[in-house]
Structure 1
Amino acid sequence: MPPADAAPLLASDLPYPLACRILHFTPHSRMKRHASPWAELNFAVSGIMEIGIGGMTYLSPPQYAIWIPPHVEHCCQNEGEVHYACIDIPAAACAGLPDKPCTLEISPVMRAILADFERRGISYPDTPEDRRMAQIVIDQARQARAYASYLPSATDPVLAPILSALQRRPGDKRGAAHWAATAGITERTLLRHCQQRLGMSFNEWRQRLRVVSALGMLDDGKPVQTVARALGYSTPSAFIAMFQRLTGESPDSARRRGPGGACAAMPRENRVVQASDATRGR
């Protein structure tokens, strides 16, 4: 349970074919800035991890991992409780993986293998069978869809005011046509800006914003029905379906983890995730 400003817990040997570290962070933990000679794939088993890289904060809720190439300085922090996995991958095995920090989708196959490693206490896969499983994890990471961050922002003068307005009111139900009109552009132009600058559609970005907002409210103990209404959903079932599709768990599961266990990143201006345009290249 690393305390605030703890020293990083690194693999003690060359992580071949990879090293799997399952860590538990208590609320208000900090990990000092550091760099590793190998790459790191970090993802939350529960809670939300925040990793600072080059002046940007990368957000990793369940089902999304933060990819950090070798020799890239980073630090970790979390306001709530976080249980997460850190996969160390040798630099020689990074061919085909992104050369810049980004967020990767985590496949069910990868999650199942790493859950099995955790259950059996496998830190360094050393049997032929476990090494084959480790190689599948690396292959799955190569195939994963990449984003600059889970909830990318943009400095684009067209998009920035719209994103800021939605972050202040994540339950606003007005559609892309309304927001395009406020910027004096067509809806098609707005949608094109979203794909080019955010790497995703306007609706997908809005749903991710609602997930982040929901996690903050659930963390505060608000009932699911209250959260659904606050985020503009006419029925709790519609909200629950969206939340489960994007996070892999129900809102009730997140809420039952209690204060500090559901989310560390609420949609406040000083907590907004900053990111450059979405990274899709390999």
Structure 2
Amino acid sequence: MKQTKTPPSGIGCIDDPLRPILGMCGVMQGNEEVILHTHPRAQLAYAKAGVLRVNTADGTWVIPPTQAVWVPGDMEHQVIAVSPAEVHHLFIDQRQFDALPTQCSVLEVSPFLRELIIRAISHGRDYLPDSPAARLMAVIGDELQALEPSSLYLPLAQDRRVVRVMSMLRDNPADSRGLEEWAADVGASGRTLGRLFLRETGLSFGQWRQQLRLQEAVKLLGEGKGVTEVALILGYRSPSAFVAMFRKALGKPPKQYCVDLTSGSGES
């Protein structure tokens, strides 16, 4: 599928202390990409339907409708719609709030916050200070400061041997070779490669590969593929093994997740 490149909206560059949160919404087509960019305001991107992927220099995040991605101000990032997505954005002046995240992360979105985001965007970007809209934005700020990160994060690395393994696994997540086999392929010992993975990503090799497969699973489910097909694509010996991994990581089975992907519901 041909990739469509889109420039950023520019809203994240608006300097307006009287309006600490600015909202916008729009539709992204499948494989549409907002090109690499930065802006002073932090950004919360929430796909009411569809799946997003956000890339930074530190890693990759996949965002289904039950979650949102937080991008701190001035962090270079790229947003890609893995599948057609209805996206709601909040652009936040971090100077106005004390405890917002300082690193890019995927955050769980409660039904309450989801409704707040939708309501905030309905007020537009020209609300008056000390108005009902301004008070709503203050409540959103309180909610954002209390959000918990989710597990859909894939850290990247700098060491050339680790990067090579990551690249090959991203091309073929079903590759089931063990650490020793990968180490021989990149000119290292298994112990060395394992230590490098842990040092550079904070995850063991096995944990990193599972995170990759989890991200790919969310992407493939968002594209409409069935659970058995996804399990086979990702190299699982049986659909039940894939379902068990998915449920343990994300708290619900893939079929329920598929329902949420199309409905935008965070409830199981």
User: Distance in 1 between the 2:134 and 2:11 partners?
Assistant: 24
The alpha-carbon deviation at position 15 of structure 1 amounts to 7.1
TM-score (norm 2): 0.68
Q: Is the 8 A contact 1:159 1:194 kept in 2?
A: yes
1:67 paired to 2:73? no
User: Distance in 1 between the 2:5 and 2:46 partners?
Assistant: 20
User: Distance in 1 between the 2:23 and 2:45 partners?
Assistant: 10
The alpha-carbon deviation at position 131 of structure 1 amounts to 5.4
User: Distance in 1 between the 2:176 and 2:36 partners?
Assistant: 40
1:242 paired to 2:210? no
- Equivalent position amino acid for 1:111 in 2: S
Structure 2 unmatched ranges of 5 or more:
124-130, 263-268
What corresponds to 1:184 in structure 2?
Answer: 188
TM-score (norm 1): 0.65
Counterpart mapping for 1:95-244 below 5 A: 95-97=98-100, 99=102, 102-107=103-108, 110-118=109-117, 121-123=119-121, 126=132, 130=136, 133-141=139-147, 144=149, 150-182=153-185, 183-187=187-191, 189-218=192-221, 221-244=224-247
User: Distance in 2 between the 1:245 and 1:84 partners?
Assistant: 27
Q: Residues 224 and 18 from structure 1, CA distance in 2 versus in 1: closer, same or farther, beyond 3 angstroms?
A: same
Q: Is the 8 A contact 2:61 2:106 kept in 1?
A: no
Q: Residues 131 and 82 from structure 1, CA distance in 2 versus in 1: closer, same or farther, beyond 3 angstroms?
A: closer
The alpha-carbon deviation at position 39 of structure 1 amounts to 1.4
User: Distance in 1 between the 2:96 and 2:88 partners?
Assistant: 19
Q: Residues 176 and 95 from structure 1, CA distance in 2 versus in 1: closer, same or farther, beyond 3 angstroms?
A: farther
The alpha-carbon deviation at position 105 of structure 1 amounts to 3.2
3-state SS in 2 of match to 1:86: strand
User: Distance in 2 between the 1:134 and 1:17 partners?
Assistant: 11
What corresponds to 1:38 in structure 2?
Answer: 41
The alpha-carbon deviation at position 206 of structure 1 amounts to 0.8
The alpha-carbon deviation at position 81 of structure 1 amounts to 0.5
Deviation per residue, 1:6-31 (Å, 9 max, x gap): 66173886574534544432335454
Q: Is the 8 A contact 1:14 1:90 kept in 2?
A: yes
3-state SS in 2 of match to 1:212: helix
Q: Residues 154 and 21 from structure 1, CA distance in 2 versus in 1: closer, same or farther, beyond 3 angstroms?
A: same
What corresponds to 1:85 in structure 2?
Answer: 88
- Equivalent position amino acid for 1:117 in 2: L
- Equivalent position amino acid for 1:40 in 2: Q
Q: Residues 115 and 170 from structure 1, CA distance in 2 versus in 1: closer, same or farther, beyond 3 angstroms?
A: same
Deviation per residue, 1:170-223 (Å, 9 max, x gap): 123333344345443243x43332222123232221112112333454456543
